[in-house]
Amino acid sequence: MQKIGDIFKGDRVIWIIYFFLCIISLIEGFSASSWLALKSGSYVMPFIKHGALLFAGFGITFIIHRISCRYFRLVPVIGVPVIILMLLLVLLIGASLNSGARWMEMGGLSIQPSEFAKGILVSAVALILTIFQTEDGTEDIAFKAIIVVTGIICVLVMFENLSTAVLMGFVVLCMMFIGRISLKRIGALLGVIFLFGASALFVISLIPSDSKVFQQGAPLHRFSTWKNRIVNFGDSEDEKPAELLVASDLGQEEHAAIAIATSHGVGKMPGNSDQREYLAHAYSDFIYAIIIEETGLAGGLFVMVLYIILLYRAAMIARRCKGCFPAFLVLGLTILMVTQAFINMTVAVGGMPITGQTLPLVSRGGSSIICCSVWFGMILSVSAYAQRCEMKEKMEAENIKTKQFDNNEEVQ
């Protein structure tokens, strides 16, 4: 009979984090999906569908974690051209959701290409940094290659999903810093991004709100949504109409705050949320608020700590890797998930404007769960490789000690 360690390879702590997040997703996703239950006419069906999706995700994680991480180099080679094509198609013929064309229908399934773009971009940057890595740092051509690949993907994503483009840009900057790209180049890049962003916002703000460029189907039709979210985020003095507190994005912020405040620090226990009835995205964008409402500050802190431990374990794995690519890949994927998690949690507690970023592996959503499952599988595969590297080093050290002992015996 096989041992559990032989079946589930890799870092056990990451496996525990993975299963904890799945359990939280199953419980809180079911509790927060009352709106979906009302829509489907069945209270159990959303739970069954979500459970089946998590089970499928586990299957994906299990299969990928058994694959040698050296094969992950093929992901950017095949994935970059494919995802660029998909992002172009979604801009042209994508299905609209929440005023954004983000979805594609393929084989009866709804796919969100921007979710897949995150992991593919991280793997591409990891490969570029590896190829051009030297003893003195990273060659200058690596910076140019990363800018080209990141620029193309982020520009295609930003028109319909600005927060995802910003998230990917931040992760790439972190990877460039870890990959020993010149700090002068990174600083210059940040300056250019700031100037370009400020100039673009200034020019667009001069265009009248009723202009055709902001209408549905126009290139800048999402700008009015971004502008309203940012402006209203800091606007706490004006009283908002009652109808906004039910249906609009602004109303979601207030209901999330009510959910957290009425938890009284101890929570109402799973299944007893009141604000899930009013939060249109209680099971995705604002699931962290529901978690705090039902499990209290302890539950919210527990979820936060899981992601922090995940980042810590990834750093330990990267240090044990002998190759550059596995180390860059595991750090990039983990930074991606942890950053996205903290964005979601910060939005839920009212710390920043609504972004639409889900809580990785906890929020409902097919594309999100499948992608997170793939990322966890890749991280676990790298962790198994790191364990093998560590065992090999120990064996080599023991062999050296044995040879030294034998030599001393011969001398004596």
For residue 38, name the pLDDT band (cuts at 50, 70, 90).
low
Averaged over 164-170, what is the pLDDT? 94
Domain with 151, as residue range(s), is 4-411
3 state SS of 149: helix
Q: 48 pLDDT exceeds 70?
A: yes
Tell me, what's the pLDDT at 1?
44
Residues 178-192, mean pLDDT to the nearest whole number: 92
| In the chain, % of residues over pLDDT 90 | 48
Task: Count how many residues are written for the chain.
Answer: 412
> What DSSP designation does 179 have?
T
Residue 35 banded pLDDT, cuts 50, 70, 90: low
Between these two residues, 209 and 130, which has the higher pLDDT value?
130
pLDDT of residue 244: 44
Q: What is the DSSP letter of 73?
A: G
Tell whether the model's pLDDT for residue 76 goes beyond 70.
yes
Taking only the tens place, the pLDDT of each residue in 374-391 is 999 999 999 999 988 888
pTM for the full model? 0.86
Q: Indicate whether 312 pLDDT > 90.
A: yes
Average pLDDT over residues 321-331: 93
Residue 325 has pLDDT above 80, yes or no: yes
Segment 100-103 long-range contacts (CB within 8 Å, at least 24 positions apart): 100/160, 100/161, 100/222, 101/160, 102/160, 102/161
**Domains in the chain, number:** 1
**26: amino acid identity, one letter:** L
Find the mean pLDDT for residues 82-86.
Answer: 94
Q: Which range, of 59-63, 158-162, 367-371, averages the lowest pLDDT?
A: 158-162
Tell me what percent of the residues of the chain surpass a pLDDT of 70. 77
Could you give the CA distance from residue 381 to residue 390 in angstroms, rounded to a whole number? 14
Of 288, 222, 219, 218, give the one whose Cα is nearest residue 252.
Answer: 288
Residue 226's pLDDT is 58
What is the C-alpha separation between 206 and 199, in angstroms, rounded?
11
* Top-ranked range on mean pLDDT: pick from 66-70, 218-222, 243-247, 386-390: 66-70
Q: Which helix (H) or strand (E) holds 410?
A: helix 366-411
pLDDT at 248: 44
